[in-house]
Chain A
Amino acid sequence: QTVVTQEPSLTVSPGGTVTLTCAPSSGTVTSGYYPNWFQQKPGQAPRPLIYTTSNRHSWTPARFSGSLLGGKAALTLSGVQPEDEADYYCLLMYGGAWVFGGGTKLTVL
């Protein structure tokens, strides 16, 4: 069973920049893993942010960007806002099955 690892928690100052990463237990992430990123706030369903590595949904603010970085999937937030405080999850595809990362709790302080 593949395990996908994310930073458990990160802290960023308002207006700052932070990068969250997503890595499988073995190998590197490529576009063929169709990386997706989701944001979840307490009591809410997850909200899609990024699909297939780097594509924003129509509702995703431009300060969110997705990429591949050093063999991992990455989500970068630039000009962080207080409302960006949330849990963030990546999702990768492995041969028709999908695996979520453990999630990153982002604190804006």
Chain B
Amino acid sequence: QVQLVQSGAEMKNPGASVKVSCKASGYTFTGYYLHWVRQAPGQGLEWIGLINPSGNRNYAQKFQGRVTMTRDTSISTGYMELSRLRSDDTAVYYCVRELRGGYFDFWGQGTLVTVSS
């Protein structure tokens, strides 16, 4: 069965970087887009960006210059690294699978990133 399993919770100081992983199983990893979405406490969902089946990336303008999405196809794992963290980056970060054409189906369980001094 399809699963997206994310890495565990992180606590970071302001100015640091965080790298969240998302291990896929149960499907052909390179056949799908992998998106990253976040949700601050008590707030709505926010799209961060995607990496497509060819490995090309598209980031939301807000995160340009601070986010890097990568993947290791040999272990079916995607990564989202966010740098120069601020307190308002505190959120649950999700990876989400999309089949081309807007078919979003499976979500990871979420990773809480807390930024605090």
Alpha-carbon distance A35/B60, docked complex (angstroms): 18
B97 nearest in chain A by CB position = A48
Chain A residues in 8 Å Cβ range of B101: 34, 52
Beta-carbon contact of A48 and B47 below 8 Å: no
Beta-carbon contact of A89 and B45 below 8 Å: yes
A95 nearest in chain B by CB position = B58
Beta-carbon contact of B94 and A52 below 8 Å: no
DSSP majority for the B interface?
strand
Alpha-carbon distance A1/B37, docked complex (angstroms): 17
B80 within 8 A of A: no
Report A45 CB to chain B, min CB distance, Å: 5
Report B32 CB to chain A, min CB distance, Å: 14
A34-63 interface with B by 8 A CB criterion: 34-36, 38, 40, 45-48, 51-52, 57
Beta-carbon contact of A100 and B45 below 8 Å: yes
Interface size class of A (residues with CB under 8 A): 20 to 34
Beta-carbon contact of A91 and B44 below 8 Å: no
B108 within 8 A of A: yes
- Asked whether A52 and B103 contact (CB < 8 A) given A97-B58, A98-B35, the answer is yes
Alpha-carbon distance A40/B94, docked complex (angstroms): 13
A102 within 8 A of B: yes
Closest 9 CB pairs of A and B: A34-B102, A103-B44, A100-B45, A98-B47, A45-B107, A52-B102, A51-B103, A96-B58, A102-B44
Residues of B within 8 A of A (CB): 35, 37, 44-47, 50, 58, 60-62, 94, 101-105, 107-110
What are 29 residue pairs bridging A and B, where the CB atoms are less than 8 Å apart in the complex? A1-B62, A34-B101, A34-B102, A36-B102, A38-B45, A38-B104, A40-B45, A45-B94, A45-B110, A46-B45, A46-B107, A47-B107, A48-B104, A48-B105, A48-B107, A51-B102, A51-B105, A52-B101, A52-B103, A89-B44, A91-B45, A91-B104, A96-B58, A97-B47, A100-B45, A100-B47, A101-B44, A103-B44, A103-B45
